[in-house]
Structure 1
Amino acid sequence: MRAVAVAQLLFLVLVASVHPVVAQDSDLDKLKAEAEANPRDARAQYNLGVAYANKGQLDPAAESFRRATEIDPKLTLAHYNLGYALMQMKKHKEALPSFQRATELDPKYAPAFMNMAGTYQALGQFKDAADGYREATRLRPDDVEAHFGLAWMLLQSGQKAAADDEYRELSRLDKARADSLYDQYKQKEKEQENQGPSPAPTAAASPEGQ
């Protein structure tokens, strides 16, 4: 089954200003020097991770985010972006604890619940995925992708009555997306009849770290 395209990867710099800004590629050398000069500064390590991520260098980005979480275990965005980097590298088992920790630190942070749910989904833990998407819909009642993910995971875990209710809510928010869910479900049923189980589609991930 064709997966829904994942949103473009974005990481945000943790700065003192009210509105975080995205690190530019040209900042990498400067941020690397700052991190080396301040090895116990969680913000310096985090910002270096942002710069690496913006260049598509996910391995060093993840390592920098990991160092930031070790220095400041309560830095929510470091846990979140560590999980997101690992998820982009298909390291779902490694990503899961980071998303879980982010939700513990900030229970109102919907993107962490969305990506935790997506990680559970990738691991085939559909009931846990449904729980994550359900919490995301509670935090963001009009989030179409959260409702799509919840409806699909309810179907995958055999909760068809609940899935029908969620389908109706999804139809109210976005009829085209609801039709897509129905079409994918019917296609999956057909494939299972002919070829056996196939991978489930994923709801679009939420990369923002705001």
Structure 2
Amino acid sequence: MQAVSSGQVEIRLDLAERYLLESEPRMALDQLRTVQGIAPDNPRLHFNLGMTYSVLDDFSRSAASFERAVELDPDYGEAWNNLGQVRQSMRDFAGAAYAYEQALSVSEYMTPEFAAYNLGSLNIEMKKYDEALSWSVLGIEKNRRYIPLYVQTAQLLQKAERYAEAVEVLEAGVTSRPDSAQLRLMLAELLLGLSRDREAMRWFESIIQQSPDSNEASTAQDYLEVLR
């Protein structure tokens, strides 16, 4: 086999990632198999194999690839997180929780809020709502701009009938992400359900002013027509 430089390996990995973005997993797999014959111990190779097999719904191979990535690089937080997602899809809940927690333990992991959110979702799936809430709250502490965590936390608080706390969480979310029509609408609907109609109306109006072309603005307008 003709010798291939490390630079060419990186180019093939870049190509594979581009093919994945373009929804061409088979073409990505061709590039990755070439790299596999050249640099079999490259953690990025196995991460991308995991991503590719996941897209192809081959979860067993996907999990094995992510496992190899973290074996080669135990501080590969993104690979740990994705391993958790694959294990969760395979209903290996204990394995998924372990992988997510490993991702959170990696100090260099740049997006720990993803793992915290996934731990929340995992515990919701297992109907462990108190544990889910703890992970959701931790996730917000990790990244106060990640909208899905505010949604998840507020939903869990409402499920526990802790409505005042849910309002506080959504208000904090809007403060951190004033551009989010989704959070504004969720807050307005919650206030409306608590018979705080005037406050709800102000939030509905703010959605229309801030994001007039959004689906949330259309919904807010429908609410206002009933309330006025």
Give the TM-score range, shorter chain: 0.5 to 0.7
> d(CA) in 2 for partners of 1:125 and 1:143?
22
Equivalent in 103, 112, 116 of residue 115 of structure 2: 112
Residues 34 and 171 of structure 1: CA distance in aligned 2, closer, same or farther (over 3 Å)? closer
Equivalent in 121, 124, 131 of residue 128 of structure 1: 131
The corresponding residue for 1:162 is 165
Residues 87 and 158 of structure 1: CA distance in aligned 2, closer, same or farther (over 3 Å)? same
Is the 1:48–1:64 Cα contact (8 Å) retained in structure 2?
yes
Give the aligned length: 170
Larger Rg: 2
How many angstroms does 1:71 deviate by? Answer: 2.2
> d(CA) in 1 for partners of 2:174 and 2:33?
48
Describe the SS at the equivalent of 1:73.
coil
> d(CA) in 2 for partners of 1:64 and 1:183?
48
Specify the code of the residue in structure 1 equivalent to 2:60. D
The corresponding residue for 1:73 is 74
For structure 2, the 5+ residue unaligned runs are: 1-9, 194-228
Residues 143 and 30 of structure 1: CA distance in aligned 2, closer, same or farther (over 3 Å)? closer
Query: Which one scores higher on RCO, CA 8 angstroms, separation ≥ 6?
Result: 1
For structure 1, the 5+ residue unaligned runs are: 1-14, 185-210
Structure with the higher fraction of residues in helix conformation: 2
> d(CA) in 2 for partners of 1:31 and 1:94?
26
> d(CA) in 2 for partners of 1:58 and 1:177?
35
Q: Alpha carbon RMSD of aligned pairs, Å?
A: 3.4
The Cα offsets for residues 137-175 of structure 1, whole Å up to 9 and x where unpaired, read as 223323332111112223445645433422444576523
The corresponding residue for 1:84 is 85
What's the TM-score once normalised by structure 1's chain length? 0.65
Determine what percentage of the aligned residue pairs are the same residue: 19
Larger displacement relative to structure 2 (81-90 or 145-154): 81-90
Specify the code of the residue in structure 2 equivalent to 1:40. D
What's the TM-score once normalised by structure 2's chain length? 0.60
